[in-house]
Structure 1
Amino acid sequence: MSYVLLAIPFFFLLIGLELIAEKVRGTQYYRVNDAINSLSAGVLSRVTGLVHKLIPFTIYALVYEHIALFSLPEAAWVWVFAFVFYDFCYYWNHRLGHEMNILWAAHVVHHSSEEYNLTTALRQSSSSLFSWVFYLPMAVLGIDPVVMISVGSLNLIYQFWVHTRHIPKLGWLEWILVTPSNHRVHHAQNQIYIDRNYGGVFIVWDRLFGSFQEELDEEPPLFGIRKALHSWNPLWANVHVYHQLARDCWHARRWQDKLLVWFKRTGWRPADVEARFPLPKADLSRFKKYDPPLSTSAKWYCLIQHGLTIVIALMLLLSGNQLSGWQPWAIMLFVMFSSVSLGALMDNRESAFWLELGKNLLVLMGAILSALPAWLAALLISGTLISMVMLWFVRMVNPLPAVE
């Protein structure tokens, strides 16, 4: 079984504790727009995962049933072996995710934040198409699908706490485990830190295979990606590298290059495409975080609306089996629409007002027309009307410059 859903309350508890540490220490590791964007990406990853993760699990189960070399007993050592071997597979999945264009296109969303805090851990991909392939060796060795899912979820849960800047180096643990210090290296775009420290739980794989880099006091990490996203749209965060690869594929003159562009090392482009459509090179000496101005009322509106979106997403995740055929899709599309709409508002786009108005009208219509309990319908209607008043206040009292 997956333990991720059970861990969600603890994730938010730790985020709350980190915010308290932020206040006490006077640090500036959080921004409302960045945190909401990270959480939106995480919500999208979980709700879309209900659809696209079924096929990989089925393939794993088929390989386990028909190709497994061993029949492993239900013993504690099997679980320990599976946990360690999963992390070994994760290392190569993660490493190739940085070293191959098509795999980086899926993984890049996790690195797109220019901050580093616990919300960054939840900024997960919704478009990972091939990562499941790296775990098929576990099926071949006879690791039960339930065990694989369980240790995989524990691996993911472990990785949450290392996304913080409040914990320094941890002595001898730095040699064995992935810690906040060596994972900060992984998220940095400084030249010395690029493509280092891929382990999920154990850093020993990086030390064995030559990809380890210690965090240096004289080289503070600059977080984010070289080709900065400059958008709070979580859908665009998931597809922007695919978009660039598709453009390069279309413009490449040689058929060989049209194929290679997807599978060559990250950043590779056909020579003719590079010459005709050059991309600007990142200058880290002039690095500036993407941070469009956002009024206080707009920040509060975004926080409240995102909180409601999280509640709706949790309803889908926790009661998906009780919903009819079209209802999960409707909720998933609403979560996607809401995330894009809030992203537009945080980007100061003129279209954001109309997107948010449309979203609120959808909720209002759904509450009136759906066969909901009276108390829930009343709650949704009253909450939506309040949201529309807040939206109008944000629009009229605190106008922001459009960047369409």
Structure 2
Amino acid sequence: MNIILYAVPFFFLLIGLELVLEKVRKTQYYRTNDAINSLSAGVLSRMIDIVKALVPLTIYVLIYDNFALFQLTETALVCIAAFVLYDFCYYWNHRLGHEMSLLWAAHVVHHSSEEYNLTTALRQSSSSIFSWVFYLPLALIGIDPIVLISVGSLNLVYQFWVHTRHVPKLGWFEWLFVTPSNHRVHHAQNRAYIDRNYGGVFIIWDRLFGSFQEELDDEPVIFGLRSSLKSWNPLYANLQVYKQLWQDSWHTQSWGDKWRVWFGRTGWRPADVAEVYPIVKTDLTKFEKFDIPLSTFSKIYCLLQHSLTTFIALLLLLNINNLLTYQQIAIVVWVLYASYSTGMIMEKRSVAPWLEWFKHSTLLAAIILIPLPTWLFWSLTIPLAVSMLGAYLLQKSSNQSSQLTSNVIESI
């Protein structure tokens, strides 16, 4: 956790560098709504990890303490071996995350962006509940839990930089390591690229187990999902496939299929359900990115809201040992709600301004009722005041737009 937390400033530094390249090279790899959605998913993932992290680690420690086959000293060689073995386990975790419906339901959020930039790396799942199982063999061979956490964090940090379109193929490096080029393939929805290149750090696993695909010059990558998310709601992004699996399991008449829906091959659906409730796949020959145009003011407002939400999430992560359980849960719930509310603004939902007012009211109440250090008081009060003014202007603009639409309809 600490390694990832300390890496966050470097993540944003690299995102800033990529935005400079975006301007210099006149590329269009970023959209405000998509980037905010990716970053919000990342914040939610960190928040949910607080709630769910203890149980898997407890099981790992239990196996390590009672069933480890070897007592390994934490030498440099052991740590390097743990790093390589962790990536091997990650490969199979990742691969099955694409090949089994229940695991795909958790992983799908990372692939839901139709853009590919460094913010995409932070678009992580909040609903992954089985991935820890794949690393239990490391406990059996005697990898210390602290070493596991460290190599796992390093593995995740490495994966950040490969989510860019600004880096071309890297020659011999492509043969051994995951690179931006071969990971772009992994995020593609092109038929030639689907379900390829699962490695986290080392691409050699894909070469060994037949899942490698090179990025082709004559097959430009189309990013995203064949069944487009069509939403800026980070909560829905985490729940969409679970919802579909539940509906398919409920509607099918076969008891065997009710089970197979969850544990069968990703994309498989019972014949009786697929006939009555078909899912239309994206026609890549007519592919258009999902987008809801926003005014410049709305974009700035959403960026401010995301920044405020991220700041509060970071406060939780940095002070988690000093907070009571109910305080941790309250902040997590507020961050979830705030992320959802920002998504509703980006979707131009009529309820969005009211969601914002409720969010601002709860934060204002917390500032008034809870004794805070002076620096924190002003760090929250100033952006909150600006946010409330922005919410007022946003609601006023929304009301004017609705009135104009009503006048046009009446004139017709």
Q: Same fold (TM over 0.5)?
A: yes
Alignment deviations for residues 312-358 of structure 1 (CA, whole Å, 9 cap, x no partner):
00000111010122111111001000000000000111111111111
Quote the Cα distance in structure 2 between the aligned partners of 1:382 and 1:41.
Answer: 25
- The Cα shift of 1:281 comes to 2.5
- The Cα shift of 1:385 comes to 2.6
Moved more, 62-71 or 96-105: 62-71
- The Cα shift of 1:379 comes to 4.8
Quote the Cα distance in structure 2 between the aligned partners of 1:378 and 1:153.
Answer: 33
Partner of 2:212: 212
Quote the Cα distance in structure 2 between the aligned partners of 1:286 and 1:397.
Answer: 34
Q: Are 2:267 and 1:271 equivalent residues in the alignment?
A: no
CA gap of 1:401–1:53, structure 2 versus 1, over 3 A, is farther
* Matched letter for residue 74 of structure 2: E
Partner of 1:304: 304
- The Cα shift of 1:383 comes to 3.1
Aligned positions, number: 402
- The Cα shift of 1:73 comes to 1.6
8 Å CA contact retained: 2:308, 2:383: no
Q: Are 2:138 and 1:164 equivalent residues in the alignment?
A: no
The 5-angstrom pairing of residues 96-175 of structure 1 reads 96-175=96-175
* Matched letter for residue 255 of structure 2: W
- The Cα shift of 1:387 comes to 1.2
Q: Are 2:384 and 1:384 equivalent residues in the alignment?
A: yes
Partner of 2:347: 347
* Matched letter for residue 149 of structure 2: I
Partner of 2:18: 18
Partner of 2:71: 71
Quote the Cα distance in structure 2 between the aligned partners of 1:379 and 1:81.
Answer: 44
Partner of 1:244: 244
- The Cα shift of 1:401 comes to 7.1
Quote the Cα distance in structure 2 between the aligned partners of 1:334 and 1:14.
Answer: 28
CA gap of 1:235–1:401, structure 2 versus 1, over 3 A, is farther
Quote the Cα distance in structure 2 between the aligned partners of 1:156 and 1:46.
Answer: 13
Quote the Cα distance in structure 2 between the aligned partners of 1:379 and 1:12.
Answer: 20
Quote the Cα distance in structure 2 between the aligned partners of 1:78 and 1:261.
Answer: 41
Aligned residue for 2:72, secondary structure, equals coil
Quote the Cα distance in structure 2 between the aligned partners of 1:307 and 1:156.
Answer: 23
Partner of 1:60: 60
8 Å CA contact retained: 1:348, 1:401: no
8 Å CA contact retained: 1:111, 1:224: yes
Q: Are 2:4 and 1:9 equivalent residues in the alignment?
A: no
Quote the Cα distance in structure 2 between the aligned partners of 1:264 and 1:400.
Answer: 47
8 Å CA contact retained: 2:261, 2:268: yes
- The Cα shift of 1:382 comes to 4.1
Quote the Cα distance in structure 2 between the aligned partners of 1:244 and 1:302.
Answer: 29
CA gap of 1:378–1:76, structure 2 versus 1, over 3 A, is closer
Quote the Cα distance in structure 2 between the aligned partners of 1:401 and 1:266.
Answer: 42
Partner of 2:367: 367
The 5-angstrom pairing of residues 221-300 of structure 1 reads 221-300=221-300
- The Cα shift of 1:363 comes to 1.1
Partner of 2:358: 358
CA gap of 1:260–1:401, structure 2 versus 1, over 3 A, is farther
8 Å CA contact retained: 1:176, 1:203: yes
8 Å CA contact retained: 2:168, 2:180: yes
Partner of 2:41: 41
Relative to the length of structure 1, the TM-score reads 0.97
CA gap of 1:48–1:171, structure 2 versus 1, over 3 A, is same
Quote the Cα distance in structure 2 between the aligned partners of 1:174 and 1:382.
Answer: 48
* Matched letter for residue 67 of structure 1: F
8 Å CA contact retained: 1:178, 1:202: yes
Alignment deviations for residues 34-68 of structure 1 (CA, whole Å, 9 cap, x no partner):
00000000000011101101101111111111111
Unaligned runs of at least 5 residues, structure 2: 404-412
Alignment deviations for residues 220-255 of structure 1 (CA, whole Å, 9 cap, x no partner):
100001111110110100010001001111111121
CA gap of 1:92–1:375, structure 2 versus 1, over 3 A, is closer
Aligned residue for 1:397, secondary structure, equals helix
Alignment deviations for residues 51-102 of structure 1 (CA, whole Å, 9 cap, x no partner):
1011011111111111111111221110011000000000000000000000
- The Cα shift of 1:377 comes to 3.5
Partner of 1:203: 203
RMSD: 1.4
* Matched letter for residue 196 of structure 2: R
Quote the Cα distance in structure 1 between the aligned partners of 2:42 and 2:83.
Answer: 23
Quote the Cα distance in structure 2 between the aligned partners of 1:114 and 1:256.
Answer: 35
Unaligned runs of at least 5 residues, structure 1: none
Relative to the length of structure 2, the TM-score reads 0.95
- The Cα shift of 1:396 comes to 2.2
Partner of 2:324: 324
8 Å CA contact retained: 1:68, 1:139: yes
Aligned residue for 2:157, secondary structure, equals helix
* Matched letter for residue 362 of structure 1: T
8 Å CA contact retained: 2:245, 2:262: yes
Moved more, 314-323 or 369-378: 369-378
8 Å CA contact retained: 1:348, 1:400: no
